[in-house]
Structure 1
Amino acid sequence: MTQQHEDGVKEVKVDFNTECPMCSASIAFDPSSGKLTCPYCDYEAEIATPEKEAQRTAQEMDFKATDRRESYDWGVDKKTLVCEECGAESIYDALQVADTCPYCGSHQVMEASTIDTLAPNGVCTFNVTEKEAGSNFQKWIKGRLFTPSAAKKSAKPEAFSGVYIPYWTFDSNTMSHYTAAYGITRIVEDREGNTRTEIDWYRTSGVYQRFVDDELVLASKRYDGELLRKVEPYNTTDNKVYKPDYLSGFLAERYSIGLDEGWGIAQRQIHTTLESEITQRILRQYGASQVANLQFSTTHDQITYKYLMLPMWLSSFRYKEKVYQFMVNGQTGKVGGRAPISPIRVTIAVILALIAIYVIYVFTQS
Structure 2
Amino acid sequence: MSGMPKVARAGAAPVEHHFQCESCGADLRFAPGQERLVCDHCGHVQDIPKATGRGLAHLRELPLAAGLAADLPAEEMEEHRSVSCPNCGASIEVSGADHALNCPFCATPVVLDTGTKRLIKPQGLVPFQLTEEEARAALGRWLGRLWFAPSGLAQYARRGRKMSGIYAPFWTFDAASRTGYSGQRGDYYYTTRQVQVMVDGRPQMRTVQERHIRWTPVSGRVARDFDDVLIYAARSLPPPYIAALQPWDLSALQGYAPDYIAGFEAEAYTVELHEGHHLARAEMLRVIQSDVRRDIGGDEQQIGRLDPAFAAETFKHVLLPVWTAAYRYRDRSYRFVVNAQTGAVQGDRPWSAWKIAFAVILAALAIAAIAYFSQTQGQ
| Fold agreement, TM-score > 0.5 | yes
Q: Which of 197, 220, 229 is the equivalent residue of 2:211?
A: 197
Structure-2 change in CA distance of 1:301 and 1:41 (3 Å): same
1:50 and 1:56 in contact (8 A); partners too: no
Report the number of matched residues: 320
In the alignment, what sits opposite 2:119?
A: 117
The question of 1:335 aligning with 2:345 is answered yes
Instruction: Tell me if structure 2 keeps the 8 A contact 1:95–1:253.
Output: yes
1:304-356 Cα distance to aligned partner (Å, 9 max, x none): 1111011111113333321111110112111111221346549659969x98x
Q: What is the correspondence of 1:35-74 to structure 2 with a 5 Å cutoff?
A: 35-51=36-52, 57-66=58-67, 67-68=69-70
Q: Report the Cα distance in structure 2 between the residues aligned to 1:220 and 1:52, rounded to whole angstroms.
A: 27
CA contact (8 A) 1:141 1:152 kept: yes
Matches within 5 A, 1:244-255: 244-255=258-269
Considering only aligned residues, what root-mean-square deviation do their CA atoms show, in Å? 3.6
Shift of 1:64: 2.0
Relative to 1, partners in 2 of residues 1:191 and 1:253: Cα closer, same or farther, differing over 3 Å?
A: closer
Query: Shift of residue 13 of structure 1?
Result: 4.4
Separation (CA, whole Å) in 2 of partners of 1:312 and 1:69: 31
Cα deviation for residue 180 of structure 1 reads 2.2
How do 1:86-235 residues align onto structure 2 when only pairs under 5 Å count?
92=83, 96-98=92-94, 116-156=118-158, 158-191=161-194, 193-235=207-249
Paired-residue identity, %: 25
Distance 1:60 1:194 in 2: 61
Conserved 8 A contact 2:56-2:253:
no
CA shift at 1:233, angstroms?
Answer: 2.1
Q: Aligned partners of 2:10, 2:211: CA distance in 1, in Å?
A: 74
How far did residue 253 of structure 1 move?
2.3
Q: What is the DSSP-based 3-state SS (H/G/I as helix, E as strand, rest coil) of the residue aligned with 1:339?
A: coil
Structure 2 CA distance for partners of 1:53 and 1:129, relative to 1, 3 Å: closer
Unaligned runs of 5+ in 2: 1-7, 73-78, 85-89, 102-115, 196-206, 371-379
Q: How far does residue 261 in structure 1 lie from its aligned partner after superposition?
A: 2.0
In the alignment, does 2:324 pair up with 1:296? no
Q: Could you tell me the TM-score, scaled by structure 2's length?
A: 0.73
Separation (CA, whole Å) in 2 of partners of 1:54 and 1:260: 27
Query: Any stretches of 5+ residues in structure 1 without a counterpart?
Result: 5-9, 71-76, 80-90, 106-113, 359-366
Question: What does 1:225-304 correspond to in 2, within 5 Å?
Answer: 225-282=239-296, 285-286=297-298, 288=299, 290-304=300-314
Q: Does 1:25 align with 2:26?
A: yes
Task: State the partner residue of 1:312.
Answer: 322
